[in-house]
Amino acid sequence: MTTKLHDYDVAKHLRTPEEMAAYLEAAIEESDGDAVFIAMALGDIARAKGMAELSRETGLGRESLYKALSAEGNPQLGTVLKVAKALGLQFHVKPAA
């Protein structure tokens, strides 16, 4: 019997703002300072919402969003903040443990 494996796409499972926030928070904690890892997690959340809708809400081009929030991207802080706001997310700072 052969087992068929499918690619797992986390974007299909991020439905609520709470799930999206928890996913991004976990990515930040696990990233060890890797900005690309965090940008990719934000990209997963962006795909869950829909890039076309996000493009309209941020005023950023859809292709630019795909590139910035991918392994090849290195988004500016302004882009990250616009995307987070459009996704209904906020960044918070706390003292390191």
CA dist., res. 97 & res. 82, Å (int): 28
- Answer for the pair 58, 68: CB distance below 8 angstroms, yes or no: no
Q: Give the pLDDT score at 7.
A: 85
Domain ranges of the chain: 16-86
pTM higher than 0.95, yes or no?
no
- In 3D space, the residue among 60, 68, 21 whose CA is nearest the CA of residue 43 turns out to be 68
Query: Block means of pLDDT (10 residues each) for the chain, length 97 residues?
Result: 84 90 94 92 94 95 94 91 93 84
